Structure 1
Amino acid sequence: MATLKVEKAEFTVLTQQKGRGCSIDEMVKFGTRFVSFSNECHNAFAGLTRLYLENLRFRESNFVSNILVTCKQLNYLGFFNCDTEDWITLQVEHAQLSELSIVDCRFSMVELTWVPKLTWLAFLFWLYHAELPLSLGYVPLLGVLRLSNAARSFHENVKLSMFLHETSVRDLTLGFKCEKIWVQPECLTRRQAYVFQQLRILNLVKIPEGYDLTWTMFFLEAAPSLEELYMQVWDHPCEIEMDQEISENKGVEWESPTSNFKHHCLAKFILVGFQAKDYMVTHVRRVLKAAVNLQDVYLYDRLACAKCLKKVENALKSDAVVRGMCPGVNLPIKFPYTNEDQRSVQKRMPRGTGSLAKIHFLASKEMRAEHGPRIGYSMGAIEDNWMLSRLGQRI
């Protein structure tokens, strides 16, 4: 390891407490234990190719930066629920790093100063910052980007054209956790528009229900090479964090500066959580009208979550009353399951669009294998969702 001749070596820290259940004292204890171990095995860490750390608080503010200096061979680095006693600006400079994941961490700022081989980046949740605490410096190969936040009323909307300046992202995922839309639709100038020229795949995950979806058309206008568009509309109580600071208005308004624009590359449009409500039907018509070469539209019903499934299963085992206890089961669904309802919805969509796209109405258990991972669902979770719907019928 010290001679850097090991082709692949992975080190993963898994603490006894999972998720965000750790207390500060526990995080400090785990962090101290890891620092002690790494100091004893300093030379061995030089040969690591993958490193994942969770639930660690470091007393030495420079230790996180030292990891990048010590682990010269890293291809992947992942942080979950990590921080330092004094919030720091983490400057990332690394010659080999190709994948970086920072989830639910507390750094004052993360600056990707010089990461020439970085191709994949996940930066999830900046709950304590009004502005996105991430800066993209020299990342010429960055192609896949995942951003997600449960935005509050004090969070500033992100102007993607400024944030993605001088990048060539081809695969972009934006998550909203059923909360406020934190993306700022823009009227792009030619100088700004080139930022989106390479974008091929877009995932918009957990958009709050009930709000106008016109703002998503911003991406079609901004990204002329977009081929696949995924959207998940979901207002699931298990996901929503009740907080007085959350804005009641989670939506965002945007009026297209271009009337009747046409998009020539979009081939697939996948909408999860579709309901036969006017704002959703209108939005599908809007996409059908704009995307002149659209081939397939996949409309899925609402997905549930494993938490709801567990609650229902436990309640059924104990003969408990479930209604009202598990909100995920009792949410009203207006998905057109019958052929008659589907024909009725289809009549409302293609009228006046001239689209030849084929519209597929599918239950969640019928989700195509390539669609689930795009919105963050494994096929196992999809099967759980189908089981939940069956259990719900028995309540």
Structure 2
Amino acid sequence: MARTSSRRRAAKLMAKPSGSTMVKGSPDDRISSLPNDILVNILDRLDVRTATRTSVLSRRWSQLPAMVPRLTISARDLLPSETKTSISKVEIVRRATAAVAKDPANAALSKAALVRRTSAAVAKALADAAAVAKAVANTAVAKVIKSILARRDPGGWPIRLSMTFYLRDGVPISVGHTVGNAMATLKVEKAEFTVLTEKEGRKCSIDDVVNYGTRFVSFFNECHNAFAGLTRLYLENLRFRESNFVSNILVTCKQLNYLGFYNCDTEDSVTLRVEHAQLIELSIVDCRFDMVKLTWVPKLTWLVFLFWLTSREPPLALGYVPLLEVLRLSNTARSLDKMLKLSTFLHETSVRDLTLGFQCEKVSCGFIALFWFHLFSTHPIMCLLQIWVQPECLTRRQAYVFQQLRILNLVKIPEGYDLTWTMFFLEAAPSLEELYMTVLDHPCEMQMNQEIRREQLYSENKGVEWESPTSNFKHHCLAKFILVGFQAKDYMVSHVRRVLKAAVNLKDVYLYDRLVCAKCQEKVKIARRYDALVRGMCPGVNLPIKFPYTNEDQRAVQKRMPRGIGSLAKIHFLPSNQIRAEHRIAVDSLGAIED
């Protein structure tokens, strides 16, 4: 937020002056009288497009953009807005619709068939227009990078490079050669590549990701010098034909501090062994590696591993990761899948910030299912979530892995599940200071038909049975408890009471209403109109007896909680649209709120 406001102030300062103010020696031309280092600092706060426009002001100004300490350029930012294009989306839709209507071949079609053909034509026209826009933006990225770096003084200050571009045409190789040359001739402090694909993950077919994978391999092989100096690399939607290619990336990119994979895999099942001296952050999301073994990553502090598709325990083995502090794990597990014992999984680590996502029940993407099971079917695979973490009665030696845990975030626990099992974490982590829980059902992604549920062997909603081995357990460090998706139902009220009783130094309890995802917004509007029909089917449709909005209802709930406990914690009841910024960051960490 601070960076955005500083950019706005800088943009105002750099607004194009009138002719009178640009007269040399004019007292109004105060900005040109500033020394170069201050002007460069101002330009550094602007986006690349605005900064480069100042080059037309004078010869002096033309040299300044090449002196900025950071060059951050993204093809996304260079995509033309609708107001600057020769044809709007509305016009594209109108032309595509008119073309279908005029085609004599469509005259005999039924109304339904004509609608389908029109929709397909409109979708193709919009996709083609988007592809052209991305190509133009991509080309602009290559030109700007080459222009600015070519004018930079080799003996000047170090520069930090951050490039975001699409994996298409010859642009990636052009960018790679430019950055590689810069690394050889300039002082490059950091270099980042974010490599995007034209299609988003869920829209990619198998042919698409194979094609993207082939393009990236060509790019990588042509630009070894650039990749050897990268400090950050993000890749998405790639399938590699060579099983050892991911290992080649790790071997070549020796300077990486961050490596991110989204929706990537290899054609053959492969165990990815990660050995890297500099890697600090690793993110693997929706990937289908048979196993990931972090054999030796001595500087790793932050790890994200989301959504594995296997009936065994997570295909992730933590080897030598002595500095690992932040861990994000999430999965959509079925009732037949094995449960994970965290004491074994986290053995010899000292995690301080742990997020576990349970993804509520959902229909997984058909494409992802195809990738893993190698099935050629258009039907998505239905999964029912079960709680995939096994609560344990820990010995002193086993409990060691939780001794450093300060923040725990449990995301997307399905509604209706008994929450007693989560007390396991309080007993296992004596130093825990903040506990976040998000309880959420997601009807727009769930199978609601009871017959289909029975046919496909969906199990009943039930939590994990667990009984504390310690009577009258007390926790002395927990200061904040945040529960998102609270309802005034017995099982939730009982759980809050349970936490209040155990956490003797608890200061604040925040109880938020249910979250509403973007997909469910329209359902919520309908539900509020016709609540007798669909009330309770969508997140955010709350009956008064579910979330206590009124002061009277809140007092009634509070009386059910601390009675006989003596807790001094302050209980806050808040609607989800008033969620505090620091709480939203935790809740959003695994996409609990879909934008």
Structure 1 unaligned regions, length at least 5? 385-395
Q: 1:166 to 1:245 in 2, by over 3 A?
A: farther
Mark the structure with the bigger radius of gyration.
2
Contact 2:281 2:300 in 1 (8 A): yes
Matched, 1:78 2:288: no
Q: What is the deviation of 1:377?
A: 6.6
Aligned counterparts, 1:192-341, within 5 A:
192-240=398-446, 244=456, 246-309=458-521, 327-328=537-538, 331-333=541-543, 334-341=546-553
Contact 1:177 1:240 in 2 (8 A): no
Contact 2:513 2:540 in 1 (8 A): no
Contact 1:5 1:47 in 2 (8 A): no
- 2:313 match: 131
Matched, 1:165 2:375: no
Runs of 4+ in structure 1 over 3 Å off: 1-5, 239-243, 310-313, 323-327, 329-333
Q: What is the deviation of 1:250?
A: 4.4
Contact 1:152 1:245 in 2 (8 A): no
> Deviation per CA, 1:9-58, whole angstroms, max 9, x where unpaired?
11112112213221111110000000001101111110111111111000
Q: What is the deviation of 1:128?
A: 2.9
Q: When the two structures are superposed, what TM-score results if normalisation uses the length of structure 1? A: 0.90
Q: What is the deviation of 1:240?
A: 3.6
- 2:216 match: 34
Between 1:232-241 and 1:213-222, the stretch displaced more is 232-241
State the distance in 1 between where 2:464 and 2:486 align: 19
Identify the match of residue 354 of structure 1 among 559, 562, 566: 566
Q: 1:245 to 1:376 in 2, by over 3 A?
A: farther
> Deviation per CA, 1:113-132, whole angstroms, max 9, x where unpaired?
00001000000011234221
Q: Percent identity?
A: 79
> Deviation per CA, 1:338-374, whole angstroms, max 9, x where unpaired?
0000000000000111100000001112111100010
Contact 2:416 2:462 in 1 (8 A): no
- 2:396 match: 190
Aligned residue pair count: 379
Q: What is the deviation of 1:241?
A: 6.5
Matched, 1:44 2:226: yes
Q: 1:199 to 1:241 in 2, by over 3 A?
A: farther
State the distance in 1 between where 2:539 and 2:315 align: 37
State the distance in 1 between where 2:585 and 2:271 align: 32
Which protein has greater RCO, CA pairs closer than 8 Å, 6+ apart? 1
State the distance in 2 between where 1:325 and 1:35 align: 51
Structure 2 unaligned regions, length at least 5? 1-179, 361-384
Q: 1:266 to 1:330 in 2, by over 3 A?
A: closer
Amino acid at match of 2:438: Q
Contact 2:441 2:539 in 1 (8 A): no
Q: When the two structures are superposed, what TM-score results if normalisation uses the length of structure 2? A: 0.60
State the distance in 2 between where 1:274 and 1:124 align: 25
Q: What is the deviation of 1:247?
A: 3.2
Matched, 1:22 2:224: no
Q: 1:212 to 1:270 in 2, by over 3 A?
A: same
Identify the match of residue 110 of structure 1 among 287, 292, 298: 292
- 1:390 match: none
Between 1:280-289 and 1:6-15, the stretch displaced more is 6-15
State the distance in 1 between where 2:540 and 2:474 align: 40
